[in-house]
A and B are shown apart, each in its own frame.
Chain A
Amino acid sequence: EVQLVESGGGLVQPGASLKLSCVASGFTFSDYWMSWVRQTPGKTMEWIGDIKYDGSYTNYAPSLKNRFTISRDNAKSTLYLQMSNVRSEDTATYYCTLGIGWFAYWGQGTLVTVSS
């Protein structure tokens, strides 16, 4: 059974940095592209970016490219999202998803709240 478990969310101050993690199990992690998607409190869904199975290539939403970095550690079956200089509009639930484009599997999400 595919499982994606995110962690690392919480309350963070504007301008700070935060790193989210997603531990994957139930499939061969190193064979698949992985993605991050977020959902704001107002329910808006936004694709953040994705990373190739070997970590050699990434794509990002243009509006986030300069502040967010996606990486992975295939030995640990773990996906990461490094967020820097966070803003109030980054307040959202962040989901780790399996695949590229259309997402058949989602984690339970981790809530990030940006507030002073």
Chain B
Amino acid sequence: DIAITQSPSSVAVSVGETVTLSCKSSQSLLYSENNKDYLGWYQQKPGQTPKPLIYWATNRHTGVPDRFTGSGSGTDFTLIISSVQAEDLADYYCEQYFVYPFTFGSGTKLEIK
């Protein structure tokens, strides 16, 4: 199975700051035939269902604010949240869908100072 490692496990930032969340894969998620990385990000606010943020490592899902940016390729990926808002308080998960079984990271908890 592909192991997904997220860091940090939790981070606290002030409103307006920028935060970078890391997601590392134990093997490359890049498919050379289509040059796509099979990596996605989800946001789960307290008491809510996970919501999709990013797919193909860099593409924002419909309606996701542009302060959320996915980057990276191969085995190293990041989710950058610019100008953090209080409503961004949530757990953030990355997931690889390159090979079965699909696997998730353990998540990063974003707290607001």
The contact size tier of chain A is 20 to 34
Q: What is the number of contacts between chain A and chain B, taking CB atoms within 8 Å?
A: 50
Find chain B residues with CB under 8 A from A8 CB: none
| A48 CB → nearest B CB, Å | 9
Q: Interface residue count for B (Cβ, 8 Å)?
A: 21
Residue interface bits B83-113, CB-to-A below 8 A is 1, else 0: 0000000010101010011111011000000
| B27 CB → nearest A CB, Å | 16
Q: Are A106 and B50 in contact (CB under 8 A)?
A: yes
Q: Which of A42-68 contact B (CB under 8 A)?
A: 43-47, 59-62
A103 at the interface (CB under 8 A from B): yes
A14 at the interface (CB under 8 A from B): no
A108 at the interface (CB under 8 A from B): yes
| A18 CB → nearest B CB, Å | 21
| B1 to chain A: closest residue by CB | A62
